[in-house]
Structure 1
Amino acid sequence: MGNCAPGGKVAQTAQKNDFSWSFWPVLPIYPYRERRTICQEVVKDAIWTFDQIQGIFYVVVPIRMTVVKLEEGGLLVYAPVAPTGECLRLMRELEAKHGEVKYIILPTISGLEHKVFVGPFARFFKKAQVYVAPSQWSFPLNLPLTWLGFPRQRTHILPEDCSETPFANQFNYAILGPVYLGPGRFAEVAFFDKRTSTLLVADSIVSIPENPPPIVQINPYALLYHAKENAADIIEDTQESRRKGWQRICLFAMYFNPSVLDVPTWKEAWQDAGKAKDRSRQGYFGLFPFKWQPDWKRAFDALRGDGRLFVAPILQTLILNRAPKETIDWANLVAGWNFERIIPCHFDAPINATPQQFRQAFSFLEKHPAISAGLFATDTYPLPEIEFKLLRAIDQGLSKSGIVPASKEKI
C-alpha cells in the first residue's frame, strides 16, 4: 500500500479492485468507473495534493484536491475528488497522523466536475462541516444541494467575511462572482493558507507542464492515442511519445480547435478508420479525426511559454470578459496576499509564483495593462490571437442569440 510521498516526490498506490467510482454515470466522462489517485506531499506535514484524471475523447487532464493541515490539528479539504477506496485509504493515513477532516470546501458553483464529488466525499467524513461558494446552481435543473447529496445539517454557505468562519485564524478567502451568464453563472473562491503562504484556486489560473503529469501516465493510452499522426499509426510507448501526446492534449483542452489542427470530414475520418490496427471500442473503432500540421509544436510552445500563469482561454472569452471590473478587483485582492506558491485544481501544481505574477495573468481584461496594473515594466505576453478564433465565434454567436449577455469593454 502506498502513501503520500514526502519531499515533493510522488507515490502511487497499487491496490487491486480499489479504484472503483460507482457514481460515474452522474458525470459520464473518462475514465468512467475506474479512477486512480496519486497523493503528493507539497509542504512537509502541512499540504498534500490528490490527483485524479478526467476527460473526453482521451483529452485527459488532472483534477486535483488539496488537503491542508489545521494549526489546531485536523484537516481542511479544498475541492474534493472521487472518494474511491484508494483515495479514502490515503486520507485515513493523513487523519491517523494529523487529525480528522474538519472542513470540506466547494470553491465553485457551476463546475459539475468538482460538485459531483462533494456529497459522496462528505459521507465518509461524518464530522466534517461542508462550506460551499454562494449562489450555487445546477444544470439542467436547479436542484437544492441536499438533492445533490450534500449533508443537510452540515452544509453552510461561505459568508462574504472570512472572519465569520471557524478557520479564519489560518485562512483568508476571496469570492469572485457570481458572473451572470444568462441561464447560468460562474464563481470561484480562492483560499489563502497564511501558515504556509499557499494560494488555492479552482479553475481561474493554470500553468502547463512540458511533460505529462504522473497521474496521466499511470495508463498512457490517452497519451499514445493523441501521439498518432493518422488512424493507422502504431505508437511505441516511449517518453517522447507520451510527451507528444500530452502536448497535443493541452492544445485541445485550452483551445478546442487549435490553429495547427486540420480537421478532416467525417467521411474521410471513417475511411481512415478502416485502415486502423486498433479497431477496438477503447480505440473508438479506429476513429482518429485529427490531422496535425508539421509545425504543431510551435502552438504548444506559445501556449506554455516558460511555464507562465495564465487564465484559460474559455474563461477569457466566454466568462470573465462579462465582468472585467469585478474580476480585476478580485485579482487585486488576491494579489494583496503574500503567497509563495499556487495550487490550482487542474494541470500543473504546485506552481512557485508571486502575487505580481498572479495579477499579471488577468491583464487581458485591461486596455492598458502595463499602466493600469501598476506592477509590471513589460507587456503581459498574451496568448496568440489566432488560437481564439473558434472561442470568439462561439462568444459572438451566444451573444447575438441572447443566450448570454454581451461581453463588456476592458477597463
Structure 2
Amino acid sequence: MNGQQTHNPKDWLWPFWPAVPLYPYSKRRTICSEIVKDTIWTFDQLQGILYTVVPIRMTVVKLSAGGLLVYAPVAATRECLRLVNQLVSQHGDVKYIVLPTSSGLEHKVFVGPFARKFPQAQVFVAPHQWSFPFNLPLSWLGFPAKRTQVLPEDSSQSPFADDFDYQILDINLGRGSFVEVAFFHRRSHTLLLTDSIVSVPEEPPAITQLDPYPLLFHGRDHACEAIADHPENRRKGWKRICLFAIYFRPHSLETTGLGQMFREAFQAPQHSPQAYFGLFPFRWRDDWQKSFQILRSHGRVFVAPILQILILPQGPKEVLIWADQVARWDFRQIIPCHFDAPISATPHQFREAFNFLEKQSPAIQPLLAEDMQFIHELEANLRKQGIATPPQEKV
C-alpha cells in the first residue's frame, strides 16, 4: 500500500481549518506509505505558511495482539479515513490514539475529529496539555471526554506495553510546558518522535509534489520570473522552503524594499491571488545552496534551531536524561512528524544531536551559526519582553 490518493477534491476537505488557519487550508491531500511490511504506515499531509510547506505526519502501527495504534493524528479527511479503514479491514480496529505533545496546536487540533471517527478507540495524551494564544480545554477541541486520559508516567502500565516503550520529556516553560513523548516499537526497532528531531531530504517529499505550486513559487529568483514547472525548479523551491522553515530568516535571504517589491509586482507575469498578486520580496545570495547543504549534511538528524535556542535550554538536564534514556533503546530508524521519514539512524546519532546542551559540545559551524542569528535575536527580544526566560546553564 503506497500513495493511494483519490482525485475527488471533496475527499480532501478539512472543514475545521479555521481553528489553525495554515496552508492548504480547507483541502488536505494524504499519502499513505508502508514503512515496515504489514506493521507500520505513515500518512503524510502538508502544512505551512506563505507556501513554506512541509510534511506533517501520522504513524499507524499494527499491534501484536491485533488492531492499530495511531501516533499523532492528521486531518481526518475522507481520503485519509478511507486509507486508514483499508488498514482496519486487514489488521483490526484502531484501538489507541496518541497525542504525543502538549503545546503543539497544529497536532492537537486533529485528534478530536479523528477520534470521533473511531468511537471504539481509547485516546491517550501527553501530560500538561495547554495551548497558545488561548488555553482551550481538550473538550473544546472535540476530544471525547469519556475516552481520553493522560499517558501513564510508567510505560509498563499502558495497555500497549507489549509493543511499545515510551519516555516523556517534560520541560516547565513557566507559562506552559514543552512535552514530547518518544515511542519505541520494539518489534520493528522503530523510534517515533514528534518535533524533537528532524532530517532534511535532498528531494522534495512526495506529498509536496502532488501540488507543486509552493515549490515553484519559491523556486524563482525574482518576481518577474515565470512560474515554470520542471524538476530543477521543484528542487530549488524545496531547498529554499527548508531554509525558511528551519531558520525563519536564513542569512542567505534578503528582502527587497517596498517600492521595488510593488514595481516588480506590476511587471510580474502572474497577478492572481494564488501568486499573491505578483508580490515576491525575496532575494537569495549566491551561497544559499551551501547553506542548504550544511543544513542537510547528508541526511543527519538534528534538533531544529527554534528548539535549540528557545525551548530545550530551559531544561538541559531533563532533556539530556530523556535523550540518554531514549538512546538505550535498540532502534534502527526514526519516524518524526515533520520533514523526512523514515530516517536510518542509530541511538548514538540520536543522542549526539543533543550535544549542544553540554558544556563540552563542539562549536557550531560558522555558516550554520549565521543562519541561526535571527532566532537568537528573536529569543533576545522575547527575553526583553519577559515572555522568555534566560537559558539554564549547560550540563
| TM-score, L = length of structure 2 | 0.97
* Contact in 2 for aligned 1:207/1:351 (Cα 8 Å): yes
- Give, in whole Å, the separation in 1 of the partners of 2:294 and 2:348: 21
Unaligned runs of 5+ in 2: none
**Does residue 205 of the first structure (1) align with residue 194 of the second (2)?**
no
**Does residue 27 of the first structure (1) align with residue 20 of the second (2)?**
yes
Secondary structure in 1 aligned to 2:166? strand
CA drift at 1:159: 1.4
CA drift at 1:180: 2.8
- Give, in whole Å, the separation in 2 of the partners of 1:102 and 1:380: 44
- Give, in whole Å, the separation in 1 of the partners of 2:162 and 2:274: 50
CA deviations on 1:309-350 (whole Å, 9 max, x unpaired) are: 000010001100111111111100000000010000000000
* Number of the residue aligned with 1:104: 97
Match of 1:404 among 381, 388, 392: 388
CA drift at 1:149: 0.7
**Does residue 48 of the first structure (1) align with residue 41 of the second (2)?**
yes
- Give, in whole Å, the separation in 1 of the partners of 2:316 and 2:66: 39
Range moving further from structure 2, 52-61 or 263-272? 263-272
* Contact in 1 for aligned 2:291/2:367 (Cα 8 Å): no
**Partner amino acid, structure 1, of 2:323:** A
Range moving further from structure 2, 153-162 or 183-192? 183-192
- Give, in whole Å, the separation in 2 of the partners of 1:133 and 1:265: 45
Match of 1:167 among 148, 160, 163: 160
* Contact in 1 for aligned 2:264/2:279 (Cα 8 Å): yes
Secondary structure in 1 aligned to 2:89? helix
Secondary structure in 2 aligned to 1:109? coil
CA drift at 1:16: 4.3
CA drift at 1:184: 3.1
* Number of the residue aligned with 1:287: 279
Equivalences for residues 384-403 of structure 1 within 5 A: 384-403=368-387
Match of 1:118 among 108, 111, 115: 111
CA drift at 1:267: 2.8
- Give, in whole Å, the separation in 2 of the partners of 1:166 and 1:329: 25
* Number of the residue aligned with 2:347: 355
**Does residue 136 of the first structure (1) align with residue 129 of the second (2)?**
yes
| TM-score, L = length of structure 1 | 0.94
* Contact in 1 for aligned 2:42/2:58 (Cα 8 Å): yes
Q: Structure 1 residue runs of 4+, over 3 Å off?
A: 10-13, 379-383
Secondary structure in 2 aligned to 1:282? helix
* Number of the residue aligned with 1:374: none
* Number of the residue aligned with 2:254: 262
Equivalences for residues 176-255 of structure 1 within 5 A: 176-177=169-170, 179-255=171-247
* Contact in 2 for aligned 1:364/1:382 (Cα 8 Å): no
Q: Sequence identity, in percent? A: 59
| RMSD, matched Cα | 1.4
Secondary structure in 2 aligned to 1:188? strand
* Contact in 2 for aligned 1:361/1:380 (Cα 8 Å): no
- Give, in whole Å, the separation in 1 of the partners of 2:351 and 2:108: 27
* Number of the residue aligned with 2:79: 86
Unaligned runs of 5+ in 1: 371-378
